[in-house]
Structure 1
Amino acid sequence: MKSAVLAGLRTQETEESWAQKLDEAALLCEACGIEVKTRLTQKAQKGHPRTLLGSGKVNELKQACEAQSADGVVFVNELTGIQTRNLEQETGFPVIDRSALILEIFERHARTRQAHLQVEAARLAY
């Protein structure tokens, strides 16, 4: 993934702490060589169990990816495997969350066989 839409669900966070989370995720994307094309946020009390975001926001996410010519989506929030799959099916774009992004950064910086094995063990546990 070379470029992405940065997305997330804001629940209890203040505006300031949410902005910090988005900025941190953007820096993680940069460290992984992913250009953030735009940011998309939904504010709600709790996430939708199927896709984390509501159906209207998922459609908006798909349109943002298409309009910005993004290769995928990076979520600030942790996603379940089912949510990731559902989002990929509904948007037609690859979706990763913050944890997967961090594991990708570790993988890229791993130099020894042991380091690669540790990253793989973390990926399996994830």
Structure 2
Amino acid sequence: MAEPTPAQGMPTPDQVLQMMQGKMGDTLPEWPAQLKDQAPDLLLSTAMLSKGSVARAESTIPLKYRHLMAVSAALARRQPACARSQARMAMAEGATADEVMDAVRIARHLIAVGVIDAAAPILADLDAARG
């Protein structure tokens, strides 16, 4: 895929990488730079997904809360660098340390409940084995 030009209204892969570095700082994983060189179209499409979700200007949810939601989602997906960068961005938007910790607590709870939910067939087998 040819690299889009700014005249087409799309940022270049270099611009996307610079934006990510500016927002994520030392929490930026290696893959954006790798994609910039190996698959710039994939880097651009990933950036557009972010623009349409967490960064969506039309959202009725305040940005700090969108970042806090992203903290919980990233933790649930076991993505510590993403969770850390989202926490930093939430705090830059006014979230408190207590609010970030609440997002961590919520993620932990939902992950723990997910384990119990996944164990439901085992629990049914145990009930059946008990008679």
Band of TM-score, shorter chain: 0.3 to 0.5
The TM-score, its normalising length taken from structure 2, stands at: 0.32
More strand as a share of residues: 1
Q: Which structure would you say has the larger Rg?
A: 2
More helix as a share of residues: 2
The higher-RCO structure (CA 8 Å, 6+ apart) is 1
The TM-score, its normalising length taken from structure 1, stands at: 0.33
